[in-house]
Structure 1
């Protein structure tokens, strides 16, 4: 997992290193230029204010980050958390990475590290109120599966840095220290993300929509250990790509929120793991087998 870096050296390495990567481009490209507006900085991770295709302006806003960024600690394999009270705060950023507000959660709407790596917080304010008070729009989650070769931006509110690369491909299963993630996104090499970028939205550079959430990378070339995920194909073959980084797709999340921005895991097309399901039990057995 992409934990935050510690110490003065890390600060020196990234200080002032914001890379937006925007060229002259066309008018259309400029309209979808990716910046920091709508992203957030957590105490130890990155995140973003997000909305579903069905979200209404007066719905309570949602903040998305990784499951392993949950303030109570990483959920165990097979664990799904819903409707847990939370008072977590988030620093809301504008387009130039300036902090414009502190947002407050009321609860963890959903959190898991099974199949995916995501936490969604419900806030005590609406999208309309955030827009009116701070001039910031939420980022929209794409309802569509990402496409290989797509140009993407990984936007870290923690480091105030934007990484630019492309979707290199997809991983049948990504295994790391007992956790198993399915259909993960593999980046091309220029998205050399570091600790603290966990939870960053992965944005389609053309549409401006979120297609994934940044979560891990293989640091030392080890196989399936913490901070060293391995790829497992449909036939069980294991490969390791040192220095390669990954994200978890988010299109499936859009199928699991209904009217009023409320989580509803029974909705048609919703495949997120549910609390106390056989899938969760299977995930635990699989994680133990591959640890």
Structure 2
């Protein structure tokens, strides 16, 4: 879990085209027999590039065209630094620019945020920015539609694609399984998505939408991988099962599920942590 990179850290720290220990890895690894074939090819439409990460313009099942658009990335991609364990940010003013991409990966234009609607690295690793433009304004001006967030839990074995607006690259694999607890440094995330080996993510892909190939909907937000085989350290997450057993999977990437967000977004696309069914951490 590193933010990226160019302009923030030295070029050798995660700004390189590969993670530590993966510089000689092929662009895509061969999947094991039985991995589902992709049913669709997700495009770059609706994805964004941040200064240090990737992201996407996302709409909820109840979002309306006139609602201010929401831009999703990781909590660890915040400009002010990574939130500490237990920290939750709600409605904090933040003016941040995002480069919006069209389907082919071309720069469609720039959109701006007015605030961080929600961000945390507790239980999950997500940031939601409220844009100064509505979904309809973005579509009318740039011809770009937002990605739809799936309100249902993803399924093991489904083909997925991590779509990076920062690199304008995609990484295809499948949902290998779900992790009871994923620990990295001071942070713990719950029910994380574990990828099969094909998703060789790298610095700058943090915050990318994880898209279900069959439905085209967002089921997760990409956030980390175990770089060097270490146990539960920064950039080396470990898995902890219900019995406390720790497993380290060197070179394997992870994302955080996003279906939990939908119940927490109310009328006008406003974050409401008191809504029925909302289980996101509160301040």
Q: Is the shorter-chain TM-score for this pair beyond 0.5, marking a shared fold?
A: yes
CA distance in 2, matches of 1:2, 1:163: 18
Structure number having the greater helix percentage:
1
Q: Who is 2:82 aligned against?
A: 74
- Alignment gaps of 5+ in structure 2: 29-37
Asked if 1:206 corresponds to 2:214, the answer is yes
2:152 alignment partner, SS class: coil
RMSD value over aligned CA atoms? 2.0
Greater shift, 73-82 or 4-13, is seen at 4-13
Equivalent in 9, 12, 16 of residue 10 of structure 1: 16
Match of 2:172 in 1: 164
Displaced runs of 4+ in structure 1, greater than 3 A?
5-9, 11-14
Counterpart Cα distance in 2 of 1:11 and 1:252: 32
1:256-271 equivalence runs, <5 A: 256-271=264-279
Q: Does 1:143 align with 2:151?
A: yes
The structure 2 residue matched to 1:94, chosen from 102, 110, 119, is 102
Structure 1 unaligned segments of length 5 or more: list them. 20-27, 276-291
Give 1:1-291 correspondences, 5 Å limit. 1-5=1-5, 7=11, 10=16, 29=39, 32-275=40-283
The DSSP-based 3-state class of the residue aligned with 2:128 is strand
- Deviation string for 1:52-110 (max 9, x for gaps)? 00000000000000000011110000000000000100000001111111110000000
Q: Alignment partner of 1:40: what SS? A: strand
The Cα of 1:11 is off from its aligned counterpart by 5.5
Task: Return the alpha-carbon distance in structure 2 between the equivalents of residues 140 and 223 of structure 1.
Answer: 35
**Equivalent position of 1:25 in the other structure:** none
Deviation at 1:10, TM superposition (A): 2.8
Distance change >3 Å, CA 134–CA 245, structure 1 → 2:
same
TM-score (norm 2): 0.89
C-alpha contact 1:2 1:217 (8 A) present in aligned 2: no
Scaled by the length of structure 1, the TM-score of the pair is 0.87
Contact 2:85 2:122 in 1 (8 A): yes
